[in-house]
């Protein structure tokens, strides 16, 4: 049975996933303003993923007979120094998400709430993928530096990204 403590933590994560989506919309808007549609697309897809994650938390809380709590969403940062600044802030945010998922997992394991442990396993794996993806892009950006051709090529690559909900989720 899910404790009140665990329901509160799951609700906090539900709201944090919505906040994450909000952050990525702000990052997409920054790139739209820079006429970098591929980079904007990357963060629009990231926003869709975060909303999908929030939806998974919403559904899980409801399935476990919990009360879903919707909180206010803080204003995200809207101004950035550069392309790489955006990605470094994004990876910092993803690391916070990972820490939060680990903390949720710790609570679930401590309370021997096996269904929640099983549910959270997907998020542990997802965060590994998220951090790896951002790290790869940051490495490419560090190699590219301010080379317009490299930025153009990466922009074209990121324009190809699409959101496809995982079949096993």
Per-residue pLDDT of the chain (169 residues; tens, 9 = 90+): 899 999 999 999 999 999 999 999 999 999 999 999 999 999 999 999 999 999 999 999 999 999 999 999 999 999 999 999 999 999 999 999 999 999 999 999 999 999 999 999 999 999 999 999 999 999 999 999 989 999 999 999 999 999 998 877 6
Domains of the chain, CATH where assigned: 4-68+78-159 (1.20.1260.10)
- pTM of structure: 0.95
Judge whether 4 is annotated as a binding position: no
Residue 114 known to bind ligand: no
- 142 labelled binding-site residue: no
Q: How far apart are CA 140 and CA 125, in angstroms?
A: 23
Of 113, 115, 27, give the one whose Cα is nearest residue 19.
Answer: 27
pLDDT score of 169: 66
């Amino acid at each position: 049975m899910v404790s009140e403590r665990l329901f509160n933590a799951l609700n906090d994560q539900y709201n944090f996933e919505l906040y994450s989506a909000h952050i990525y919309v702000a990052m997409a808007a920054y790139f739209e303003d820079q006429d970098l549609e591929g980079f904007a697309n990357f963060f629009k897809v990231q926003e869709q993923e975060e909303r999908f994650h929030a939806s998974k938390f919403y559904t899980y809380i409801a399935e476990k007979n919990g009360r879903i709590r919707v909180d206010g969403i803080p204003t995200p940062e809207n101004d950035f120094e550069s392309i790489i600044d955006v990605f470094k802030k994004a990876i910092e945010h993803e690391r916070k998400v990972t820490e939060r998922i680990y903390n949720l997992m710790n609570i679930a394991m401590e309370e021997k709430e096996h269904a929640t442990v099983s549910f959270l396993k997907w998020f542990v794996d997802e965060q590994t993928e998220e951090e790896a993806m951002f790290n790869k892009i940051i490495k490419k950006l560090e190699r590219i530096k301010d080379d317009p051709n490299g930025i153009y090529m990466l922009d074209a690559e990121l324009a190809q990204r699409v959101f496809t909900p995982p079949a096993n989720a």
